[in-house]
Structure 1
């Protein structure tokens, strides 16, 4: 039992504290963004699984109130002394209060963001493309929203500023965001950051993952429309404001946009080598499977302990 708990804590430390600094190096321009994105998502998922497992063990370990549930009330409680029961109950109450406070503070913010996205999408009525809504505004902007229909928004200012080829590259970029479900990844990132914002891996993912998503969409658009066309479109839209709750082709920061332009202007990024794919695949499988197996084994072992 003690070894399983030690493995669970070690998984939380390795993924939540040490994986982030290592994965942060994958933001290098020559790195394949798809490989880096998968590794970041696996690290976040494994961190969340390990943290949930630690909380579950803390609540279910004897003599915590969660141990044994009804059987604990009937059989296990008489075998423990009153001071130990009182201390365990107090610690469990503090833990539940802290988690509840964090959720109460964070979930309303996520709810407001989702409502803002829905209201923004409902304001937009017209568009020539089947999946595009046209916003009557002179500022050139283009972005996508997590909607089932007409999820791409393009302003009239962007239509007037961009050439037909550049507009096609922008639409290909936003369609890549939607096809690869980048909005869902950002929503998962917001949720994990709301729950455990103090972990280094989560903090680094908050700043590293969005640029990687933009790079992945850039690669998809460049393969379809060409690197030079996409670079010209990015430069024309570089001063556009960022829309809350959306993924815009111009990104969120001037520095991030400059890195993407330099990356596209350089030689085509090499495909990841076989050894890199092997290491990344091993990390992804281990980051998710190991905490999950350890959590399941620990809880199963706890069910046999009084």
Structure 2
């Protein structure tokens, strides 16, 4: 058992601190899909390893967790009362820390979903359906705006200013960009990263992922739109909507900020190197291993702890 616990702690520390610099090299925009897979695998592996280590610490005999399991098996008297009390006192800080992190995470997720719902309700009061596109709500405003707000009906919001300023091909490119976000569930990725940062604030890997992945998601959506409309057309369209404001809970074609837009435009216009996707299978393999290995290790350790005495 100590070996399994040590392996989980070592994995959590290794993934929580180690891969950031390596993944930063993948985040240059050469292949955003590979970089996204790498970041998510590192974050998932860190979370699984840390969770497994906490579960073992709470179930290690004679802590209250293990005592409860033993009580279910009818063998709690096998441990001395003094040892159980001491283990209980030592477990209180760990339980408090876990509960505190969860108490901070759940409200953040609820607040994000609430703002998204309020935004959607507001749009239904001021926007109207676009007759030419079944998934677009048209907002009567001179500022060129295009963004998606995940929902069941008409999740893309487009302003009349964007309609007037963009050519037909540019408008199609922008809409395809937003549809790529929706198809690939990029909003869920951002929610999961926000939750991971709230639960694991000590991890540099998680903090870097939260700052790097949004740009990579935009680049991945750019690739999908460029495949349909062309890179130059998309770049020209992004210049037209690049000054649009941000909206809470939304994924906008203009991106989070001006620096992000500059990087995306440079990439679309060929000013950054774009090698092939040969590293995609390796990134998937490493991400799966980073998640599955600590998961099986934690399952084996917990399984040993909850066996009857």
Q: Fold match, TM over 0.5? A: yes
Kindly state the Cα deviation for residue 261 of structure 1 after the two structures are TM-superposed.
0.4
Match of 2:18 in 1: 18
Tell me if the contact between 1:68 and 1:303 (Cα under 8 Å) persists in the aligned partners.
no
C-alpha RMSD over aligned residues: 1.8
* 1:158 equivalent in alignment to 2:184: no
Q: TM-score, normalised by structure 1?
A: 0.93
How many residue pairs match? The answer is 303
Per the alignment, residue 40 of structure 2 pairs with 41
Q: Does 1:303 align with 2:306?
A: yes
**Secondary structure in 2 matching 1:143:** strand
5+ residue gaps, structure 2:
none
Alpha carbons 1:174, 1:249 under 8 Å: kept: yes
1:140 and 2:144 correspond: yes
CA distance in 1, matches of 2:207, 2:308: 37
Q: Please report how far the alpha carbon of residue 70 of structure 1 lies from its aligned counterpart in structure 2 after TM superposition.
A: 4.7
Unaligned 5+ segments in structure 1 are none
Cα distance between partner residues in 1 of 2:186 and 2:4: 35
Q: CA deviation at 1:80?
A: 3.4
Find 2:202's aligned residue among 198, 205, 225. Answer: 198
Query: d(CA) in 2 for partners of 1:301 and 1:78?
Result: 19
* CA–CA separation in structure 1 for the residues paired with 2:289 and 2:73: 39
TM-score by length of 2: 0.92
Counterpart of 1:242 in 2: which secondary structure?
A: coil
**Structure 2 Cα separation of the partners of residues 305 and 53 of structure 1:** 20
Contact 2:62 2:87 in 1 (8 A): yes
What does 1:188-227 align with in structure 2 at a 5 Å threshold? 188-227=192-231
Out of 117-126 and 203-212, give the one that drifted further.
Answer: 117-126
Tell me the CA shift for residue 103 of structure 1: 2.0
Partner residue of 2:296 out of 293, 296, 299 = 293
Aligned to 1:66, the other structure's residue is in SS state: helix
Query: Residue 92 and residue 76 in structure 1: after superposition, are their counterparts in 2 closer, same or farther (change >3 A)?
Result: farther
Runs of 4+ residues deviating >6 angstroms? none
